[in-house]
Structure formats: C-alpha cells, structure tokens
C-alpha cells in the first residue's frame, strides 16, 4: 500500500514516521509513504496557498488551484489512490473504516488548515473524515491517526497478527483488561482465572469482560455489536444489576 499526504507542514510527520510500529514498518517497506508540501504547487513569487473568504468573515481559506495541482500530480504517481479530506465536517472515522481502507491500493490524505478548503475542492475528493467532534489546528493530526489505524492492519506491520483482531472496536466491543507480572501488587491481585492455565475459561472470561467494559464505558457500541443470545442475556443481567445498585 502507498500513503500520500498533502500538507503545509511536512515536518509534522518526521518524528512519528520514524518511531514505533510505523517506523519499523517503513524500514521494512511494508508500505510506502510520501509527504508532499502543498506550497510546491502554489504560484510564485509568494507561493500563497490561502486567501480571504468571499463575503467577509474571519480567518483564511485554502485556495483551490494549488490543491488541484497537487492532487493531479499525486494521482499521476498513484492512479488508484483514494483521496480523503481531513475536516471537522467529515463523517466520524471508525474501526470499520480503517478495515475497509486497508484494502485500498493507495490513500491520499488532504490536510486542511485555517478555516478549511475552498468548497470546490470537495468535488475532487472521494471521502471526508473527522476523528471526533472537536476542532484541531489542522488535518495533519487526523491524517496521522488514520495512517496508523490503517497501517497496523497491513500484514506484517504488527508483531502479533492476532493483536489487531483483539483490539478495542475490532469486533464492535472494547478490549478486555490486561494484566502482567507480578500476580499481586499494591494489594490488587490478578484474577485467578488468568493464572489457571485453562484457556477455555480464560477466553470466556475475556469475552465477558469485553461485554462488561463496553456496557460500562461505551453502551452505544452494543447496539451494533454482533452478540449471541447468551451474550445478550449476560448484558441484560449486568444492566439489571446496575439498575438495582442505583436504586438501593
């Protein structure tokens, strides 16, 4: 897979793409990534990429001409790349989006800045994404988060291929609690089932803890999760127990 990122601040990506999982994957050439400075496609002598908005108002708007040129140039090098605009107005990025995007041959991230892009730019993108209901200084933060979410699904990027499937949101639920040595610390002990060596019971405990944690922290996810009848009954029992505790 190939990632192309169009940005006004190429240096933003220098350190993250050299560290951790992403850094190792880049070194192994498990995917390719190119950072493009939008100013390279702006007009001399000032190479302006923004201008005041028609109709007045505060802030500046990113001009359409350099963006169109940048997209055309990137598409010449990666014809099958899907173009994604990072914007607070985009649809919420979810794990299922990461899974779908990981099947693409290439992704081009267009990072907005200032008050956003000229509205006409939207005609040249394939999708618009937001990583939350808040405003950031620029789309670079969102692009980096999405690159990481997608890249870790590429075969070979994670050391343990099972990790991605067991992560939070992997199947619509939050992840189960994790423990490591020592077995007891600060008066808190690791659950006995995890020390038992009974892999069947451990798997059952972990599944139930995923349901419990999701109900406690993100109950909205349960509406979309695929649960068995037994798991639905378990969640209903937890809900009744919670209601009784609140009423007591």
Percentage of the chain surpassing pLDDT 90? 90
Check whether 108 has a pLDDT greater than 90. yes
Mean pLDDT rounded to a whole number for the chain = 94
| CATH number, span 184-247 | 1.10.1270.20
pLDDT of residue 169: 77
What predicted TM-score, i.e. pTM, was given to this entire model? 0.89
For 83, half-sphere exposure in the C-beta direction (CA atoms, 13 angstrom radius) is: 21
Domain map (residue ranges) of the chain: 2-151, 184-247
For residue 35, the cross-strand partners are 5
3-state secondary structure 42-97: CCCCCCCCEECCCCCCCCCEECHHHHHHHHHHHHHHCCCEEEEEEEEEEEECCHHH
Active site amino acids: 88, 115, 152, 167
The answer to whether the CB of 56 falls within 8 A of the CB of 94 is: no
Residue 166 has pLDDT above 80, yes or no: no
What was the pLDDT predicted at 199? 97
Across residues 77-83, what is the average pLDDT? 89
Pick among 3.40.1280.10, 3.40.470.10, 3.90.1150.10, 1.10.240.10: CATH of 2-151: 3.40.1280.10
- Mean pLDDT over 225-246 rounds to 94
Q: Is residue 170's pLDDT more than 80?
A: no
pLDDT band at 161 (very low <50, low <70, confident <90, very high): low
Model confidence at 44: pLDDT above 70 = yes
53-68 confidence digits (pLDDT tens): 999 998 999 999 999 9
Please write the tens of the pLDDT for every residue from 193-232: 999 999 999 999 999 999 999 999 999 999 989 999 999 9
Question: Judging by beta carbons within 10 Å of its beta carbon (0-12, 13-18, 19+), is residue 68 exposed, middle or buried?
Answer: middle
User: Given this model, what pLDDT does residue 246 score?
Assistant: 87
Q: Tell me the average pLDDT across 176-195.
A: 96
């Amino acid at each position: 897979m190939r990632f192309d990122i169009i940005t006004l601040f190429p240096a933003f990506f220098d350190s993250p793409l050299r560290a951790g999982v992403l850094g190792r994957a880049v070194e192994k050439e498990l995917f390719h990534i190119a950072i493009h400075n939008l100013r390279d496609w702006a007009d001399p002598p000032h190479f302006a990429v923004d201008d005041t908005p028609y109709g007045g108002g505060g802030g500046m708007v990113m001009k359409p001409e350099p963006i169109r040129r940048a997209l055309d140039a990137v598409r010449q090098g990666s014809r099958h790349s899907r173009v994604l605009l990072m914007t607070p107005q985009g649809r919420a990025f979810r794990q299922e989006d990461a899974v779908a995007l990981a099947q693409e041959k290439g992704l081009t991230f267009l990072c907005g800045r200032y008050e956003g892009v000229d509205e006409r730019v939207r005609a040249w993108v394939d999708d618009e994404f937001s990583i939350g209901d808040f405003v950031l200084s620029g789309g670079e933060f969102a692009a980096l988060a999405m690159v990481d979410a997608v890249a870790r699904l590429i075969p070979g990027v994670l050391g343990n291929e099972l990790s991605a499937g067991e992560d939070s949101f992997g199947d619509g639920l939050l992840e189960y609690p994790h423990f490591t040595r020592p077995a007891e610390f600060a008066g808190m002990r690791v659950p006995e089932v995890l020390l038992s060596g009974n892999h069947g019971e451990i798997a059952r405990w972990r599944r139930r803890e995923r349901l419990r944690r999701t109900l406690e922290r993100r109950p909205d996810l349960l509406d979309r999760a695929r649960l068995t009848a037994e798991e639905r009954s378990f969640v209903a029992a937890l809900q009744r127990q919670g209601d009784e505790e609140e009423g007591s």
